Amino acid sequence: MSNGKSADTAAPAHGGVSAEIWKFRALIVGVAGLAVTLIGLFAADPVRVGLGTLIALVFWLSIGLGMWFLIMLFHLFDAGWGTVIRRPMEHATTIFPWIGIVFFVLVVYSLFADTDQGLWKWMNPDNTVVIAGETATVDDDLLYHHKSPYLNNAFFILRSLLYFGIFIGVATVLRRASFSQDRDGNGGWTTVCRKWSAAGIILAALSVTFASLDWLMTLEFHWFSTIFGVWFFSASMRAALAATVLVCLLLVYLGVFQGVFKRSHLYELGRLSLAFTVFWAYIAFSQYFLIWNANIPEVTYWYVNREHELWWWVGLALLFGHFFVPFIYLLFYKNKVQPGRMIFICVWILAFHLLDLYFNILPTKQAESGLPYYNFGVNLWDVAAFVGIGGICFWAFMQSYLGQKAIPVRDPRILESLNHHE
Amino acid sequence: MSEEKTYGLIASFATPGEVMHAAENVRDKGFKHWDVITPFPVHGMNEAMGLKRSKVPVFTLLGGATGFFGGMLMIWYMNAYDYPIAVGGKPMFSPMYAFPVSYELTILLAAFGAIIGMFLLNRLPMHYHPAMKHDAVDRASNDRFYIVIESSDPKFEEKTTTALLNEIGGSEVTRIDD
């Protein structure tokens, strides 16, 4: 059993001194990036910096959420092949509390911001809204008053706390159970994980859907789309699969996953990426198509605004770059099994996922004409927030990674996963 | 009996491991017209036999492309060319509303392409195969593994091929008549 042997050698010692250094560097980069972002929030246009931070935050969070879904899917379907891949995803779910802290800084900032300086305009009754081409305050907005039983500051904060409570709670239980199994080899932990996943997948579906509605869709609270939560889920799954491929191939490169993460695992991840590429396109198109077909001004303006200035080209870039290119590319067998080719398309997908978030989040602030206030663009504050939150995520990942075995060595399905075959 | 043409030689193996190594041997000897008969799929056999990836995806892609462009063309022809009707102030033709139908046709014809391609490439339906004449081949659906080398193979030569099959661990090497 050559595979079993390589798992044993890969399991105990990984990382070492250089990994500790990288963890420390990640923390420094993370704190520095967030400090620069915080300066930007007060020194530059706060709404632009805040939206840029929200984009970066949602980018990293979506990767963690997608992996969280995948972990639960593996447990629920008693999947054999994915057992070795599960461990890095479990480490990645440690990012939730840190993302939560950054998120609540944005919420607190928006609650106390001056008029028209917060992210969620409905939070302050004095903020300006554009209604049918005329400006008014939130307090004068009849639509807001109808939505206010749900969309008010106290309930928003309560819900956000609940979402993060679910993300952190369920992910922590699953992670701890998996780590405990490494130590005592008790097969019962697998059953524990399965039971928690059964409840967790429902909680995850609800919390991720409502979180995306609350945090992203209400940025422009006049607009509504019932498929928005599914769009966010599909986007998260694509980002998570792409990130999983990159992390696993990095671990192969470092020698930790050498002989553990094989061509057949890469092929499965590539196939899932193809499936979710089609799923994302199906959802994104459905949203556009239903709004286009119904042709009701209440909702069409959201897309009309996104035909303004550079946003038109961003929309087309998403259509071709986020769907057609990965779709055609991933249809080919060789592109799914050669590491170099998979790295290319995974970086590509992550880049367009980020662009997708810009497309959804940045044009939400409206000028007096009702058109987007901000044209598409990336500034240094965006980069600082992206690198800063990324650094914190990397640090959190390393924090968990360094204390544990590289793969779930005593999982009942580990041998099946190591011997996985196309 | 001797007038009948030889279809090929069949050899029997006891375990998947044996038949796999034997297949690697036959592959390395450069045989082209030969097959392995097993009661269940043996992982790694494709590589052991030196089989290339199936051509079925080409048929799937052709079917899918036909469905997509056929659907677009059909809707353009019906709604914008042959009998234009304005509906809901929409353009006579837009890929937007033509997309769902074209998408469904893509899937339908891609599936047809895959099935038809599979049948064509496997030369199905095939109601008769000379290997069925061999009495013991019933066990190929139970507990034995077989390698059949066809006489149509350029490298086939009854004596040496029989020797080869014996050498690589095959037992009960038998001639099959066409």
Percent of chain B past pLDDT 90, that is, above it, reads 49
Confidence band of A14 (pLDDT split at 50, 70, 90): low
Confidence band of B1 (pLDDT split at 50, 70, 90): very low
Q: Which of A264, A263, A204, A251 minimizes the C-alpha distance to A89?
A: A251
Give the model confidence (pLDDT) of B119-132 as tens digits: 999 888 988 888 88
Contacts B96 to A, Cβ<8 Å: 288-289, 292-293
Structural domain includes residue A295:
yes
Percent of chain A past pLDDT 70, that is, above it, reads 96
Q: Does position A13 have pLDDT exceeding 90, yes or no? A: no
Instruction: List B residues 110-169 in contact with A (Cβ-Cβ < 8 A).
Output: none
Judge: A421–B100 Cβ closer than 8 Å, yes or no.
no
Q: Does position A391 have pLDDT exceeding 80, yes or no? A: yes
Would you say A50 and A225 are in contact if contact means Cβ atoms under 8 Å apart? no
Would you say A49 and A41 are in contact if contact means Cβ atoms under 8 Å apart? yes
More confident residue, B147 or A135: B147
Q: Is A295 on the interface with B (CB under 8 A)?
A: yes
φ, ψ of residue A129 to 5 degrees: the values are: -125, 155
Structural domain includes residue A33:
no
CA distances from A159 to A147, A153, A206, A222, A361 (A): 15, 10, 11, 20, 20
Would you say A329 and A351 are in contact if contact means Cβ atoms under 8 Å apart? no
Judge: B57–A331 Cβ closer than 8 Å, yes or no.
yes
d(CA A275, CA A73): 15
Q: Does position A3 have pLDDT exceeding 80, yes or no? A: no
Structural domain includes residue A386:
yes
The chain B residue lying nearest A421, using CA atoms, is: B43
pLDDT of residue A8: 41
Q: How far is A328 from chain B (nearest CA, A)?
A: 10
Contacts A288 to B, Cβ<8 Å: 96
d(CA A45, CA A26): 27
Q: Does position A371 have pLDDT exceeding 80, yes or no? A: yes
Residue A64 three-state SS: helix
Q: Which of A375, A372, A392, A396 minimizes the C-alpha distance to A384?
A: A392
Q: How far is B43 from chain A (nearest CA, A)?
A: 7
Judge: A421–B44 Cβ closer than 8 Å, yes or no.
yes
Instruction: List B residues 81-100 in contact with A (Cβ-Cβ < 8 A).
Output: 88-90, 96-97, 99-100
- Domain parsing of chain B, residue ranges: 6-52+129-177, 56-121
Partner-chain residue, chosen from B43, B53, B57, that has the shortest CB–CB distance to A421: B43
Partner-chain residue, chosen from B88, B89, B96, that has the shortest CB–CB distance to A289: B96
Region B152-156: mean pLDDT is: 89
Chain Cα centroid distance, residue A267: 22
pLDDT of residue B89: 81
Angle, vertex CA B153, rays to CA B27 and CA B161, nearest 5 = 70
Would you say A164 and A214 are in contact if contact means Cβ atoms under 8 Å apart? no
Residue A408 three-state SS: coil
The chain B residue lying nearest A286, using CA atoms, is: B100
Contacts B100 to A, Cβ<8 Å: 289
What one-character DSSP code corresponds to residue A338?
Answer: -
Mean residue pLDDT of chain A comes to: 90
Q: How far is A289 from chain B (nearest CA, A)?
A: 6
Number of domains in chain A: 1
Region B10-16: mean pLDDT is: 92
Structural domain includes residue A219:
yes
Contacts B99 to A, Cβ<8 Å: 285, 289
d(CA B25, CA B29): 6
Judge: B57–A421 Cβ closer than 8 Å, yes or no.
no
More confident residue, A211 or B136: A211
Give the model confidence (pLDDT) of A59-83 as tens digits: 999 999 999 999 999 999 998 899 9
Structural domain includes residue A17:
no
Max CA separation in chain B (angstroms): 80
pLDDT of residue A187: 86
Judge: B100–A331 Cβ closer than 8 Å, yes or no.
no
Structural domain includes residue A27:
no
d(CA A224, CA A280): 19
Region A160-188: mean pLDDT is: 93
The chain A residue lying nearest B91, using CA atoms, is: A293
Tokens for A412?
A: 């009942």
Judge: B97–A289 Cβ closer than 8 Å, yes or no.
yes
CATH topology of domain B6-52+129-177: Alpha-Beta Plaits (3.30.70)
Strand partners, B12: B146, B171
Judge: B89–A289 Cβ closer than 8 Å, yes or no.
no
Judge: B53–A333 Cβ closer than 8 Å, yes or no.
yes
